Amino acid sequence: MKTFTSLAPAKVNLTLHITGQRPDGYHLLDSLVAFADVGDQVTLRQADQMGLRVSGPRAQGVPNDRRNLMWQAAERAGATVDMELVKTLPAAAGIGGGSSDATAVLRGLSAMGHPPLDARALLELGADFPVCFEARASRMSGIGEVIAPVSLPPLPVLLVNPLVEVPTGAVFSAIKQKTNAPMPVTIPRFSGPVDCAEWLAGQRNDLELAAITIEPLIARALSDLESTRQCCLARMSGSGATCFAIYPDMKAAHFAAYELGAAHTDWWIQPATLT
């Protein structure tokens, strides 16, 4: 295979419990993660010289050199490839955009015949690397290196970001309590999105309040999602600023997208299905 093209899906933290902090500074977490059917597009081609071209509606400000995680992942894998990124996900948004793009590169290199590289070896580049490499509903724990698959029903959601960047480091620094309870040992099997949302309501994103202190627009996004018809649950993903709401069906998610899109023409608003 000389060319590889793949979706780098948005990652959504349905829960994110911060359960401690190691002496080396890494935070311990317990998170239920799902992936959307929307994301960036990554294309790789065999080449004699490394290159990266970035286009798409969210391309502005995305580096096309060694600062990009895609480039770093390819270098760590010992590969020289020409890469193309069509960027549709907002940056610094709590939905794993950079990690998902980079792990799409790793999957592509493997498909093109390069020796596989364990994404856990790249944890220093981001805690989301192992789970984004799997790109399936999972429970993520430890510092991100422990991944266990989870069975989830398809979840109709609306993803909303007021297009403000929230620095992950600042959010973690603003957490007041870093030793919190994990999720229950067993995650139940859900009959559908409403059942799942009811269980998720008893869980948390421990970064949410800290992120809101840094960027109050997150609270507005959550409030507006909660006010939409048939919203089952609204929560922030990751360290923000992207928030999501779960609906009983895609019709309700699309109706909410229309409703919020009319009120916030300058926000990123995207219906999606999580699996």
Active site amino acids: 11, 128
The closest alpha carbon to 193, from 224, 219, 231, 221, belongs to 231
Contact 217, 241 (CB under 8 A): yes
CA distance 10 to 127: 15
Q: How far is CA 221 from CA 26, 34, 71, 235, 263, in A?
A: 29, 20, 33, 9, 11
Q: How many helices (H) and strands (E) does the chain have?
A: 8, 11
Q: Which two tokens stand for residue 182?
A: 């994990």
CA distance 211 to 213: 5
CA distance 67 to 141: 27
Contact 74, 223 (CB under 8 A): no
CA distance 242 to 151: 24
CA distance 121 to 76: 9
Q: At what angle do helices 97-111 and 69-76 cross, to 10 degrees?
A: 30
Give first-to-last CA distance, the chain, whole Å.
28
CA distance 205 to 62: 27
